[in-house]
């Protein structure tokens, strides 16, 4: 059941990214909806389940990007792992703190994505526009996190009476 909920959240995120946020932009920059899902998956799923969801979200996003397949997947998974690891010891359940984590993490993901693709031979991603995209999309995602967090939290929650299965995802007891 959790896998279906996570899949639903990823489909909603990619649908919003490719329809609504094609036209709705701030300073010419759209939010990074699948990065937002990856960050929140790390926050709510921890270092075990978060990276798996983040990798899947990144792979879904990589299909639509004109750059190397798998770059978003790896960056999203690493970010989710870092957030899940740090969150366990430091954060309290504060909406403002979560928004700050989302802003900083989105900015790190955008910069990491540009750097990784530059290393892989994709030229033109590192320039002053990249910094603008990182800051604006980070703030955009931070604002959107107030609406997205409850949805991702619901998707990542283990159903009652479930035990962990493969990759840390809940599995119904039988």
Longest dimension (CA), the chain: 55
Q: Is the pLDDT of residue 129 over 70?
A: yes
Q: Whole-structure pTM over 0.75, yes or no?
A: yes
The mean predicted confidence, pLDDT, of the chain is 89
- Predicted confidence (pLDDT) per residue in 42-73, tens digit: 999 999 999 999 999 999 999 998 888 999 99
Looking at domain 2-21+29-158, which CATH architecture does it have?
A: Orthogonal Bundle (1.10)
pLDDT value at residue 174: 34
What letter does residue 130 receive in the DSSP assignment?
H
pLDDT, position 123: 85
**Burial code of 35-65, b = ≥16 C-beta within 10 A, e = fewer?**
bbbbbbbbbbbbbebbbbbbbbbbbbbbeee
Between helices 2-18 and 128-156, what is the axis angle to 10°?
Answer: 150
Per-residue pLDDT reduced to its tens digit, 72-112: 999 999 999 999 998 766 666 688 889 999 999 999 999 99
Quote the distance between the C-alpha of residue 159 and its chain's center. Answer: 22
């Amino acid at each position: 059941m959790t896998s279906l909920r996570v899949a639903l959240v990823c489909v909603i995120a990619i649908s919003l990214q490719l329809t609504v946020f094609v036209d709705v932009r701030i300073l010419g920059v759209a939010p990074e909806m699948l990065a937002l899902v990856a960050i929140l998956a790390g926050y709510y799923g921890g270092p075990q389940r978060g990276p798996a969801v983040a990798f899947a979200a990144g792979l879904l996003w990589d299909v639509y990007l004109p750059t190397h397949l798998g770059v978003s997947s790896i960056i999203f998974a690493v970010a989710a792992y870092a957030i899940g690891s740090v969150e366990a010891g430091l954060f309290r359940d504060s909406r403002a703190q979560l928004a700050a984590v989302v802003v900083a993490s989105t900015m790190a993901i955008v910069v990491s994505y540009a750097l990784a693709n530059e290393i892989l031979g994709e030229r033109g991603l590192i320039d002053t526009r990249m910094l603008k995209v990182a800051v604006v999309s980070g703030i955009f995602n931070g604002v959107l996190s107030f609406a997205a967090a409850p949805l991702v939290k619901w998707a990542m929650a283990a159903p009652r009476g479930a035990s962990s299965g493969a990759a840390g995802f809940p599995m119904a007891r039988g």
